[in-house]
Amino acid sequence: MEITDIRIRQIAQEGKMKAVVSVTFDNAFVVHDIKIIEGVDKLFIAMPSRKTPENEYKDIAHPINMEMRELLQQRIIDKYESTILQEELSAIDIVS
């Protein structure tokens, strides 16, 4: 399974949730509402989830092995960081 597109749909300036992301696999399947969260020492992703009647959150879609989770997380965070850098460079160009 190949990650064919990552779209940073919403970027937050404040709070622990930094962005909401959509990821496309094999140009055929998309997962929306993956969140980028600021942890104690690094960013991590939270897969889309729903709240159960017992007030627990259950993932709607998620990787089933650690290798895929790590790959997905790294690709999403890399895209987020490059998007932030690009926005900062654009802001510098506007000011100059």
Give the CA radius of gyration of the chain: 15
For the segment 12-67, what is each residue's pLDDT rounded down to a tens digit?
Answer: 788 999 999 999 999 999 999 999 999 999 999 999 999 999 999 999 999 999 99
Domain that holds residue 24: 3-95
Q: What is the CATH number of the domain that holds 51?
A: 3.30.1120.40
Is the pLDDT assigned to residue 10 strictly greater than 90? no
**84 vs 3, more confident:** 3
CA distances from 80 to 20, 34, 43, 65 (A): 10, 12, 10, 23
**51: which 2 tokens?**
């709240």
d(C-alpha 91, C-alpha 39), whole Å: 26
**Residue 39: predicted pLDDT:** 94
Is the pLDDT assigned to residue 96 strictly greater than 60? no
The domain tally of the chain equals 1
